[in-house]
Structure 1
Amino acid sequence: MEHRLAAVLAADMVGYSRLMEADERGTIERLRTHRIELIDPSIAKNQGRIIKTTGDGMLVEFQSVADAVRCAAEIQQRMRRRNADVPEERRIQFRVGINLGDIIFDEGDIYGEGVNVAARLEQLAEAGGICVTQAVYDQVGDRLGLTFESLGTRSFKNMSRQLPVWRVVLDEEARARKSEAGEQRPVVKPTIAVMPFTNMSGETEQEFFSDGLTEDIITELSRRHELFVISRNSTFVYKGRSANLREVARDLGAQYIVEGSVRKAGDNLRVTVQLIDTATDAHIWAEKYDRKLDDVFALQDEVTAAIVATLPGRVEAAQRDLIGRKTPSSLAAYECVLAAKVLHHRSTRADNAEAQKLIARAVQLDPDYAHARAWRGCILGQSWVYGWCEDKDAVLEEVVSELERALVLDDNDADVHRILAAINVGTNDLVRARYHQERALALNPNYDLVVVQQGELFTWLGAAEEGVQWIRKAMRLNPHHPERFWSHLGKAYFNGRQYAEAIEAFMHLTAMDAIQHAYVAAAYTWMGDTTAGAAHGARIREVDPEFSLDTLLASLHYAKSEDQAHLVDGLERAGIVQRPEALAQGAS
């Protein structure tokens, strides 16, 4: 047996027996998912060692008290965010106790009073909470940026002495207390209210459709973390009332109002929707959707998807007009993020440098703004991809650090997972990229940037036909989609050996970079049009005089070697690139 001082973390699941009785298989699967995605990786990252597990708990040893507390806080904070959209009766929550004491190690297990105290502390903790001993508090203090609250001196079962106990005040509680004290967060997101859609048909059964459509739009818009969406309970107060929109906006505190109507004529249904700026009464966007009333639920899903894919972009465009009249020094965190996005999408070195300044200011204004940190990772990632940085390794490390921080702050932000997927594609880790991409899609299935990236990922994985379908879906979801969607579509068609369709897609671009010209050149060559292929080969040199085979290969992330060889072969036949002999033999 070995005695040594160690930090012990004891955790158990709240209401385990009740959850197992209600849904045994579902509870086990959800618990397994939390362990695989969150709990075990956090323990490993913080140098912990799992001593043993039970059905509803575990015992973990750490050599550092700070690592134990950091690990517990990360798990509890992220579990709160994971549970945000889960009904209370189905939530998986943990209680955690941490002690620093003398531990007996024997044949892979641990014993002693140090372990017993940790177990008793865990029983004192509230659901989702953490309790620690005085020894832990003395060691950690304010080093981790956490707030502690004294629970006084407590007695423990089968222990003669009493011990001072502290609880960790997690981020959400700390923010709430600051808010109560009058401190305001700098993130002010645009607020949008979706009014109950009007049933113009005069048929009672259509009332269910119009109400259901309104509720679905509210639910789906709430997935977008860059918007603050007024709840259904607040907006449905105005159902059936003739209300002045300015008064409604004032009562609800809404900058933007969505209103619409549903009209049935025979087997046809028309849904109209409009977005109104409440400050000016201006109609920012309006659209109508004419559909056949074959399956009312499928129709409701289709119209909801179309509306929620377009609305955030229209709100963002309106916000851009507002901040265009402000100086950067006066912008708050949300506005800095928005302005940085605009610059990022221009995809030039100078604009990227300015975007980095704005996004850094957003993070400085609110260090806990997950969306800002995710976009800082994205903007730095753009400089890494295009080589607009001196030390690529250092920048990549910073990108990963920002995205990991964003993930800790908000595991339910689709943008965080979308950008993590993109970065992992850039490092050719397609397995990890697929995990984050599927998580982003589950969080926001109607987000056009997530949907198009799903198509892009399928293209890299060698499933070109599925890639085309997803990219086309993103284009339907957002008719105002960024021009680069056409580039993704062209690459997917090329990988599927549909050369004419690939060329047609690339021709939608107002300007092509060297890589895009390379795809078009290869497509023409495979079609037998060597003249057109050579013409695009010449354009490659004009756009990028330094273009080489290495430049091309660095931009490719194909899972299958034959897909990469397919593009390179086309360019080689056109005389645009020449493979080294070793690479040529490998391809053959």
Structure 2
Amino acid sequence: MEQRLAAVLAADMAGYSRLMETDEAGTIARLRTHRIELIDPAIAKNKGRIIKTTGDGMLVEFQSVTDAVKCAIEVQQRMKRRNADVPDDRRIEFRIGINLGDIIFDEGDIFGDGVNIAARIEQLADVGGVCITAAVATQIVDRLEVPIEDLGEKMLKNISRPVRLYRIGLEGNVLPDAPDDADAKRTVSKPTIVVLPFNNMSGHPDQEFFADGLTEDIITELSRRHELFVISRNSSFVYKNQPVNMREVASKLGAQYLVEGSVRKIGDRVRVTVQLVDAINDAHVWADRYDRRLDDIFAIQDEVTAAIAATLPGRVEAAQRDQMSRTKPANMAAYECALAAKVLHHRGTVADNVEAQSLIGRAIALDPGYAHAHAWRACILGQAWVHGWCDDKDAVWTEVVAELDRALALDDNDADVHRILAAVNVNNNELMTARYHQERALFLNPNYDLVVVQQGELLTWLGRPEEGIDWIRKAMRLNPHHPERFWSHLGKAHFAARQYGEAIEAFMHLSAMDHVQHAFIAACYGWLGDRIAASAHLDKLKAIAPDFGMDAFLATLHYVQEADVQHVRDGLVKAGLPEVPPAASGTATADALRGAIDQR
């Protein structure tokens, strides 16, 4: 038996039994003609090999996914033309499914999960259509200018796990596309990443399960990130214990980025090394090492998996930004537009925000079903709303809410959608609704640092700052390259926990402070009884915000407990700010939304 990675095309004739019952001899003759004149030549031209035929279908193996898809599209488009003048009840039409997987070859036949999935998804294809798996989609999205529609995850007969499926649009020509038409036909073009099996460098066979388990967990966790296409475990484990040529593996799997690593046991410790490689540009993007005591191998596996899964997407996005800044592509897909919009958003200027709105709008025009783009349009509009970069704030806020509604309707499983919805609901003082969306985001992606840090913020507002501190510190561990603003969230949580020294130390990590941070530091020094230091920060506060007022500031806070609001008020009074009569807390403001959108 031989085992290798291959693309499998499964084709089946729709309505075969009905046609045979109506005209057996005529159906067989016409099917034979189609095979001789169209199907077999298309397979041969695209370097396919027919493995098995039945009366109404066939299995074909291709070494190239692109060739398999080109063959399927050619067959379906030409069959459509052949059927143009044939009565509906006499048309011969096919369903085609294509999968990329680990295939077992034995005595001229093929077996394995990859074959079974191809056969199952063929049954879900439209008559005259082509259905493909995510593994196939990742390879062709930048190679064939054809529309690809996400059908979501489907449960297939006798397959234990859900499989993400896509439909190929067959309107228009296959290749080549005219330059002006290519942009309109492209959909989401996400970076594709493959996690190769980690090497066991320990010399201890009992560490093999740890290396394999770590690899599988990393694949699973990265798959939660909707901004990445992650090659399946079945495809990547083909290369276990084999010498690997990075460029060759990347080309065969259609991946731009490869993750590789090793596990080594040293006494009572285990060392895990990992690196991210840009195979297209032959460049190392990121590397790290994790040294842990071997007290609980499963806890180590969970910890290292979480750290890698949290860090890698940010490194991939940074590499993508660098590449875009060098190449400045004129013809960008929806993902690339969204990424460019994020870059501009992070710069935080009026002009950049305007351009970001234009780019994110283009992403949505290219792919109206791109939920992540709708969520980020809400984020970018929210930035304009927070900073007053819009003429009609009510209208813009309505758009923010509408975009989040669209994103949620399109994809209830995008952690970013729920993260931003949680922030918006905090802004509206709907903290219980915010808690639902926050917990949903956390369930969908428990290792996403922006979700984890927001959990800490929400717990602080809910009067549980000690727990909030733990979550914020966890976010910092998950992403050692975390945004600087995480220190501000930590400082506020320590203040709410009455840990003033720790709060000041956290705020001091900021390279620049706004009036809000100076207010909290002043309140810390007020409670510590240091009027000189408190006065210095009040002076800086007033220099930044000359019109600063106690009530206006307290209205930006979303504490559930009135005692927490009074705690801030008393600290500022002790710092030397003139006392004013208390006002009702909890006015809807931009503080929570600012935290969600200012992701520097």
TM-score, normalization: structure 2? 0.67
Aligned twin of 1:155:
none
1:557-568 → structure 2 map (5 Å cutoff): 557-568=558-569
- Name the CA distance, whole Å, in 2 between partners of 1:247 and 1:582: 66
Moved more, 192-201 or 542-551: 542-551
- Name the CA distance, whole Å, in 1 between partners of 2:508 and 2:533: 13
Aligned twin of 2:275:
274
Aligned twin of 1:546:
547
Aligned twin of 1:292:
293
1:278 deviation in Å? 0.3
- Name the CA distance, whole Å, in 2 between partners of 1:176 and 1:241: 34
1:104-183 → structure 2 map (5 Å cutoff): 172=151, 176-178=167-169, 182=174
Aligned twin of 1:121:
none
Instruction: Work out whether residues 185 and 366 of structure 2, in 8 Å CA contact, stay in contact via their aligned partners in 1.
Output: no
Instruction: Work out whether residues 504 and 524 of structure 2, in 8 Å CA contact, stay in contact via their aligned partners in 1.
Output: yes
**Residue 537 of structure 2 aligns to which amino acid in structure 1?**
H
1:122-521 → structure 2 map (5 Å cutoff): 172=151, 176-178=167-169, 182=174, 184-327=185-328, 330-521=331-522
Q: Give the SS at the match of 2:342.
A: helix
Per-residue CA deviation, residues 491-549 of structure 1 (Å, 9 max, x unaligned), is 00011111111111111111111111111111111111111111111111221223233
Q: Is there any run of 5+ residues in structure 1 with no aligned partner, and where?
A: 1-126, 129-146, 150-169
1:582 deviation in Å? 6.1
1:389 deviation in Å? 2.5
Identical-residue share of aligned pairs (%): 68
Instruction: Work out whether residues 275 and 286 of structure 1, in 8 Å CA contact, stay in contact via their aligned partners in 2.
Output: yes
Instruction: Work out whether residues 525 and 575 of structure 2, in 8 Å CA contact, stay in contact via their aligned partners in 1.
Output: no
Q: Give the SS at the match of 1:424.
A: helix
1:352 deviation in Å? 2.7
Per-residue CA deviation, residues 284-311 of structure 1 (Å, 9 max, x unaligned), is 1111111111111111111101111111
Aligned twin of 1:68:
none
1:266 deviation in Å? 2.0
- Name the CA distance, whole Å, in 2 between partners of 1:477 and 1:460: 22
Q: Is there any run of 5+ residues in structure 2 with no aligned partner, and where?
A: 1-122, 129-148, 153-164, 175-183, 586-600
Taking a change above 3 Å as real, the CA distance of residues 372 and 292 of structure 1, as seen in their structure-2 partners, is same
Aligned twin of 1:160:
none
- Name the CA distance, whole Å, in 1 between partners of 2:403 and 2:409: 10
Moved more, 174-183 or 354-363: 174-183
- Name the CA distance, whole Å, in 1 between partners of 2:577 and 2:337: 43
1:564 deviation in Å? 1.3
1:374 deviation in Å? 0.5
Moved more, 538-547 or 406-415: 538-547
- Name the CA distance, whole Å, in 1 between partners of 2:127 and 2:279: 43
- Aligned Cα root-mean-square deviation (Å): 2.6
- Name the CA distance, whole Å, in 1 between partners of 2:278 and 2:351: 33
Aligned twin of 1:572:
573
**Residue 172 of structure 1 aligns to which amino acid in structure 2?**
L
1:329 deviation in Å? 5.2
Q: Give the SS at the match of 1:449.
A: helix
**Residue 176 of structure 1 aligns to which amino acid in structure 2?**
R
Taking a change above 3 Å as real, the CA distance of residues 397 and 342 of structure 1, as seen in their structure-2 partners, is same
- Name the CA distance, whole Å, in 2 between partners of 1:435 and 1:218: 27
Instruction: Work out whether residues 385 and 393 of structure 2, in 8 Å CA contact, stay in contact via their aligned partners in 1.
Output: yes
Q: Give the SS at the match of 1:189.
A: coil
- Name the CA distance, whole Å, in 2 between partners of 1:184 and 1:177: 11
**Residue 565 of structure 2 aligns to which amino acid in structure 1?**
Q
Taking a change above 3 Å as real, the CA distance of residues 304 and 561 of structure 1, as seen in their structure-2 partners, is same
**Residue 406 of structure 1 aligns to which amino acid in structure 2?**
A
Instruction: Work out whether residues 305 and 477 of structure 1, in 8 Å CA contact, stay in contact via their aligned partners in 2.
Output: yes
1:471 deviation in Å? 0.1
1:402 deviation in Å? 0.3
Instruction: Work out whether residues 328 and 358 of structure 1, in 8 Å CA contact, stay in contact via their aligned partners in 2.
Output: no
- Name the CA distance, whole Å, in 2 between partners of 1:462 and 1:351: 37
Taking a change above 3 Å as real, the CA distance of residues 330 and 539 of structure 1, as seen in their structure-2 partners, is farther
- Name the CA distance, whole Å, in 2 between partners of 1:581 and 1:308: 46
Instruction: Work out whether residues 383 and 389 of structure 1, in 8 Å CA contact, stay in contact via their aligned partners in 2.
Output: yes
- Name the CA distance, whole Å, in 2 between partners of 1:175 and 1:427: 38
**Residue 356 of structure 1 aligns to which amino acid in structure 2?**
Q
Instruction: Work out whether residues 529 and 574 of structure 2, in 8 Å CA contact, stay in contact via their aligned partners in 1.
Output: no
Per-residue CA deviation, residues 64-86 of structure 1 (Å, 9 max, x unaligned), is xxxxxxxxxxxxxxxxxxxxxxx
**Residue 264 of structure 2 aligns to which amino acid in structure 1?**
R
Aligned twin of 1:61:
none
1:171 deviation in Å? 7.2
**Residue 294 of structure 1 aligns to which amino acid in structure 2?**
D
Moved more, 322-331 or 470-479: 322-331
Instruction: Work out whether residues 196 and 236 of structure 2, in 8 Å CA contact, stay in contact via their aligned partners in 1.
Output: yes
Instruction: Work out whether residues 336 and 361 of structure 1, in 8 Å CA contact, stay in contact via their aligned partners in 2.
Output: yes
Instruction: Work out whether residues 447 and 478 of structure 2, in 8 Å CA contact, stay in contact via their aligned partners in 1.
Output: yes
- Name the CA distance, whole Å, in 2 between partners of 1:308 and 1:175: 25
- Name the CA distance, whole Å, in 2 between partners of 1:230 and 1:378: 29
1:187 deviation in Å? 1.3
1:338 deviation in Å? 1.5
Taking a change above 3 Å as real, the CA distance of residues 268 and 177 of structure 1, as seen in their structure-2 partners, is closer
Instruction: Work out whether residues 261 and 273 of structure 2, in 8 Å CA contact, stay in contact via their aligned partners in 1.
Output: yes
1:399 deviation in Å? 0.7
1:194 deviation in Å? 0.3
**Residue 196 of structure 2 aligns to which amino acid in structure 1?**
M
**Residue 511 of structure 2 aligns to which amino acid in structure 1?**
T
Instruction: Work out whether residues 491 and 507 of structure 2, in 8 Å CA contact, stay in contact via their aligned partners in 1.
Output: yes
1:431 deviation in Å? 0.5
Instruction: Work out whether residues 257 and 279 of structure 2, in 8 Å CA contact, stay in contact via their aligned partners in 1.
Output: yes
Taking a change above 3 Å as real, the CA distance of residues 179 and 198 of structure 1, as seen in their structure-2 partners, is farther
1:326 deviation in Å? 4.4
Per-residue CA deviation, residues 132-186 of structure 1 (Å, 9 max, x unaligned), is xxxxxxxxxxxxxxx999xxxxxxxxxxxxxxxxxxxx97399715168759542
Per-residue CA deviation, residues 262-282 of structure 1 (Å, 9 max, x unaligned), is 111221111110000102221
Moved more, 292-301 or 463-472: 292-301
**Residue 345 of structure 1 aligns to which amino acid in structure 2?**
H
